[in-house]
Structure 1
Amino acid sequence: MRDRIDEEITFRKLEVLLAFMETGNLSKAAEALNVSTVSVHRALHSLEQGVRCALFRHEGRNLKSTEAAQMLADVAQEVLALMSDGIRATRDAAGYSSDRLRIGSLYSLTINTVPGIVVDLKVRRPALQVELALGSNAELLDKLKQGTVDAALMAVPETEPEVDALPLFEDDIFFAAPANSPYAKLEAVDLRDCRDETFVSLGEGFVTYHGFVEAFRVADFTPNVTMKVGDIFSLMNLVSGGVGYTLLPGRVRGVFGDKVQFIPLRPQYLMRQTIGVSFLRARERDPNLLALMAVCRLRTRSVG
């Protein structure tokens, strides 16, 4: 069985040892490491305690290394180099500061938000390869936790302690109807007047679906949903074709021209989504994510 390494022996103290061996002087080693001479002396002394043998001898006021210290320094050089390579390989495996950035996004954000962010990101980091994965809010959150995407442009998740988010903008939900709908002339739609209408919706993993359900809960009836789809553009096609009404976020307004009309809802049905870029707290210092956050902050300021 391999001998256990004493807790007094750390990577930082091995770095101090190498600095001392290279400079041959406590003061110069302290200057190279930007620490005090006392800190260097303590680190070297604790290394002696950790290896349980003498590494240095005093010659007057000077500290001189022994053959044992040189042996430990040679091993430390290899250990620190190997650990540095290992950390770099680990980061690459996790996508940390690699040459690619995997971004997840809601379908609805590919109209304006995603293209603008990608263009700005490429200006900031030309060599960075950006990969895009689309899905519902639930799917993107799962991909984020599993590490298959590095960041996700989606509705800011609630009660997720391992996830942090930078809000980008807020978006209201509207009543969506086909062209020439009888609802188009209304200043606002009261959902209670739509009990006899046919509706279409997104699937349960989408944040817009949750707003849809909540709005009809307030209206105190269950809508007649004849079809559910897996992306917002298919949903808008169904609305424009007269298959049914639905509720849609304002960010997709105008995508189908006048074929789909967006009518405000009465105040009691107001549903607002906070859209942002989410990422794992454990990776908040990833250089690629820091670049993405910087781009997003600039876009948020320009919009504000």
Structure 2
Amino acid sequence: MAAHIDEEITFRKLETLLVFMEVGSLGRAAERLGTSPVSVHRALHSLEAGVRCTLFRQEGRNLLPNDAAQALADVAREVLRQMAEGIRSTREVAGYAADRIRIGSLYSLTSGTVPALIMGLKLRKPDVQTELVLGSNADLLLKLRDGAVDAALMGAPEAATDIESQALFEDEIFFATRAGSSFDGQAEVDLAQCSDERFVRLTEGFVTTGRFVDAFRAAGFAPNVVMTTGDIFSLMNLVGGGIGCTLLPGRIRPVLPGEVRLIPLQPRFRMPHKIVVAFLRTRERDPNLLSLLAACRGYASQLPSTPGSDPRRG
């Protein structure tokens, strides 16, 4: 069992001892520490009480350290160095102010939004390495809470009191069909008239899946889903290959295959949703996150307000 250390011995008092040993006077030590000579004197004598031996002798108005004070100073210097290193490594393990940042993202944001934000972050933090982790909304929320990512570009999480978020833009879903289908060329699609169509969709956990379910609930029927897939690029290819129709967010328009058409839904089926950068509330002061948030604000300020309309939102 480790020996008990008296509560009178604190890191602050050890720092005071080291400064006093370096400058040699109470007045100069107080000036360096931003305190008063009386406070320095009190701290030094409380160290004597803590170690239970004499550390100083009084000669006139001067306080002079003895050999025991020098021995304690040597130990204090190493203790403070190791503690500072321990705090640094602890924060690095937790992702705070480390030389890397782990950003989670939806697949649909990788063609435009992610590169733009990483470039914005590099301008502010050129030495920070970026690691990208892709997943569904549900995956990213779990990774945030587990500490596997530092921030996530995702659909705004609901009822997540431990999560803070900053809005990037608002998007909405569109009807996606193969070029040349009976829907191609329509101004808007009445989803309630699509009960005989075949559909493909993403697996559970994606923000697009949630909007898909909500839209068909509004349409009043369960769609005939013939296939599901785990990423949005495969989903677009399934539509282009004629496997079925689907609902897709406007942000994928820049990478849409040439054989796929996006058509607006009638207003009652439109499902606006916010895309945000999310992070744990306990991480809100982390310097790397603050730089990422600044890059996000710069990116968001350049986007138009119409949902799903800007090609940079890939």
1:213–1:8 CA distance, 2 compared to 1 (3 A): farther
1:34–1:114 CA distance, 2 compared to 1 (3 A): same
Where does residue 35 of structure 1 map in the other structure? 35
Mapped to 2, the partners of 1:173 and 1:285 lie a distance apart of: 34
SS for the counterpart of 2:196 is: coil
Where does residue 166 of structure 1 map in the other structure? 166
The code of the aligned residue for 2:293 comes to M
Deviation of 1:153 after TM superposition, in Å, equals 1.6
Where does residue 24 of structure 1 map in the other structure? 24
Mapped to 2, the partners of 1:230 and 1:83 lie a distance apart of: 46
The code of the aligned residue for 1:157 comes to P
Deviation of 1:185 after TM superposition, in Å, equals 4.3
Deviation of 1:258 after TM superposition, in Å, equals 4.8
The code of the aligned residue for 1:299 comes to Y
Identical pairs, percent? 61
Q: Deviations over 1:24-56 (max 9, x none)?
A: 222211221223434434433433343344434
1:182–1:123 CA distance, 2 compared to 1 (3 A): same
Where does residue 47 of structure 1 map in the other structure? 47
1:134 aligns with 2:102: no
Matching of residues 46-125 of structure 1 within 5 Å: 46-125=46-125
The code of the aligned residue for 1:67 comes to D
SS for the counterpart of 1:253 is: helix
Deviation of 1:110 after TM superposition, in Å, equals 0.9
Where does residue 11 of structure 1 map in the other structure? 11
Mapped to 2, the partners of 1:216 and 1:36 lie a distance apart of: 71
Deviation of 1:5 after TM superposition, in Å, equals 1.8
Mapped to 1, the partners of 2:15 and 2:129 lie a distance apart of: 35
Q: Deviations over 1:130-182 (max 9, x none)?
A: 22221111122222233332322212323334432222111111222221333
Mapped to 1, the partners of 2:271 and 2:38 lie a distance apart of: 62
Deviation of 1:95 after TM superposition, in Å, equals 4.0
The code of the aligned residue for 1:91 comes to R
Where does residue 292 of structure 1 map in the other structure? 292
Question: What RMSD in Å do the two structures reach over aligned CA positions?
Answer: 2.4
1:41–1:163 CA distance, 2 compared to 1 (3 A): farther
SS for the counterpart of 1:182 is: coil
SS for the counterpart of 1:167 is: strand
Kept in 1, the 8 Å contact 2:240–2:257? The answer is no
Mapped to 2, the partners of 1:22 and 1:66 lie a distance apart of: 14
SS for the counterpart of 2:255 is: coil
1:39–1:15 CA distance, 2 compared to 1 (3 A): same
Q: Deviations over 1:205-257 (max 9, x none)?
A: 11110111122222232111111100001111111222212111110124225
Kept in 1, the 8 Å contact 2:170–2:274? The answer is yes
Q: Give the count of matched residue pairs.
A: 304
Moved more, 154-163 or 217-226: 154-163
Q: Which runs of 5+ in 1 are unaligned?
A: none
1:199 aligns with 2:199: yes
Q: Which runs of 5+ in 2 are unaligned?
A: 305-314
Where does residue 146 of structure 1 map in the other structure? 146
SS for the counterpart of 2:200 is: strand
